[in-house]
């Protein structure tokens, strides 16, 4: 790991200076190229605020953000936005096209690509999210989960270095979530893309290389998902870990450390 692709240094932010409550207080962390980091924490801990600061939609009162070597400022904001694909929780206000494929193509139009190349990028992105059969559908008629998948395709079509997902999987059913997590893992391996996902979903946390825990606007913990599940009591761990703890409680001889689903299955089948 060389220089971080995302550097957040001492970021402090208030929405309302008069009340003087810090929504984020001296938040610092680094994220490295090719890493998948999940930012977790209770509602109201400042995760979405942080996401908006990272892409310059909000400006911190103090601190510094560096993305891929560029210090975030009015001068660099557009260059930085080109590096980051963003998907927020509510996809409804992210649609512009009259068909799904127009919508995904929209962001590409400014790049003046030859038609075939553009078409190929749209195809690839729609396949990745499992929405290629819906290319001619009207986006406004899709289900919430389908809309979210199209929003993710639109972000990915632009080949971002960084993908920032703020609870972007919330409306997906468990099967599509799992499919998408696998697709993103493959994409990360293939293209060295950096993923920052803000999430409450246990499987999404487990898919990450590292978790950063925010509480009351402060970073209170950071580490491997299995370490965090052992130490942060308020984060309910994934099913396999809950099962492991229960078995131990019942006096069964399970290993006294975090187990992934695969490890648990292997142990049970012994």
Q: Closest separation between CB of residue 222 and ligand ADP, Å?
A: 16
Q: Which stretch binds Mg ion (CB under 5 A): 44-52, 122-130, 215-223, 243-251?
A: 44-52
| Token representation of residue 38 | 């999940």
Q: Closest separation between CB of residue 200 and ligand ADP, Å?
A: 9
Under rule CB under 5 A, residue 221 binds Mg ion: no
DSSP state string for 31-64: E-TT-EEEEE--TTSSHHHHHHHHTTSS--SEEE
**CB-wise, 4 or 46, nearer to ligand ADP?**
46
**CB-wise, 47 or 121, nearer to ligand ADP?**
47
In whole angstroms, what is the distance from residue 180 CA to residue 191 CA?
A: 16
Under rule CB under 5 A, residue 76 binds Mg ion: no
In whole angstroms, what is the distance from residue 253 CA to residue 270 CA?
A: 12
Under rule CB under 5 A, residue 90 binds Mg ion: no
In whole angstroms, what is the distance from residue 173 CA to residue 176 CA?
A: 6
State the number of binding residues for Mg ion (CB under 5 A): 2
* CA neighbor of 160 nearest in space, from 88, 76, 94, 84: 84
Q: Closest separation between CB of residue 39 and Mg ion, Å?
A: 10
Q: Closest separation between CB of residue 49 and ligand ADP, Å?
A: 3
Q: Which does 49 bind (CB under 5 to 8 A by kind): Mg ion, ligand ADP, none?
A: ligand ADP
Q: Which does 115 bind (CB under 5 to 8 A by kind): Mg ion, ligand ADP, none?
A: none
| Token representation of residue 177 | 């979530």
Q: Please, which residues have CB within 8 angstroms of residue 164's CB and are 6 or more apart in sequence?
A: 51, 54, 55, 84, 85, 86, 87, 196, 197
Q: Which stretch binds Mg ion (CB under 5 A): 45-53, 96-104, 136-144, 174-182?
A: 45-53
Strands 6-13 and 62-67: antiparallel
Under rule CB under 5 A, residue 260 binds Mg ion: no
Give the ranges where the chain is alpha helix by DSSP (H).
47-54, 77-83, 100-106, 115-128, 144-157, 174-191, 202-207, 225-231, 239-249, 261-269
Do residues 228 and 37 make contact, with C-beta atoms less than 8 angstroms apart? no
Q: Closest separation between CB of residue 214 and ligand ADP, Å?
A: 7
Q: Closest separation between CB of residue 1 and ligand ADP, Å?
A: 27
Q: Which stretch binds Mg ion (CB under 5 A): 6-14, 46-54, 152-160, 227-235?
A: 46-54
The binding site for ligand ADP (CB under 6 A) comprises 15, 23, 41, 43-49
**CB-wise, 49 or 101, nearer to ligand ADP?**
49
Q: Which does 69 bind (CB under 5 to 8 A by kind): Mg ion, ligand ADP, none?
A: none
Do residues 198 and 165 make contact, with C-beta atoms less than 8 angstroms apart? yes
- Name 62's bridge partners: 12
From 12, 30, 48, 203, residue interacting with Mg ion (rule: CB under 5 A): 48
Under rule CB under 5 A, residue 178 binds Mg ion: no
């Amino acid at each position: 790991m060389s220089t971080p692709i995302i550097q957040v240094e001492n970021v402090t932010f208030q929405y309302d200076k008069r009340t003087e409550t810090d929504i984020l207080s001296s938040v610092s962390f680094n994220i490295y190229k090719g890493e998948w980091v999940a930012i977790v924490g209770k509602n109201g801990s400042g995760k979405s605020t942080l996401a908006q600061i990272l892409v310059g939609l909000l400006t911190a009162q103090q601190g510094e953000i560096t993305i891929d070597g560029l210090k975030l400022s009015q001068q660099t904001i557009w260059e930085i936005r080109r590096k980051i694909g963003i998907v927020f929780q509510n996809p409804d206000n992210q649609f512009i096209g009259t068909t799904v494929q127009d919508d995904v193509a929209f962001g590409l139009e400014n790049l003046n690509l030859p038609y075939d190349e553009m078409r190929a990028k749209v195809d690839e992105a729609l396949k990745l999210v499992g929405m290629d059969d819906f290319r001619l559908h009207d986006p406004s008629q899709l289900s919430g989960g389908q809309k979210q998948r199209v929003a993710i395709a639109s972000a990915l079509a632009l080949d971002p270095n960084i993908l920032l997902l703020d609870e972007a999987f919330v409306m997906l059913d468990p099967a599509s979530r799992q499919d998408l997590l696998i697709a993103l893992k493959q994409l990360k391996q293939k293209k060295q893309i950096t993923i920052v996902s803000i999430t409450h979903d246990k499987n999404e946390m487990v898919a990450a290389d590292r978790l950063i825990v925010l509480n009351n606007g402060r970073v209170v913990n950071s580490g491997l998902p299995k370490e965090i599940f052992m130490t942060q009591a308020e984060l309910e761990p994934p099913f396999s870990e809950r099962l492991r703890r229960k078995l131990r409680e019942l006096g069964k001889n399970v290993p006294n450390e975090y187990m992934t689903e695969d490890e648990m299955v292997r142990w049970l089948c012994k």
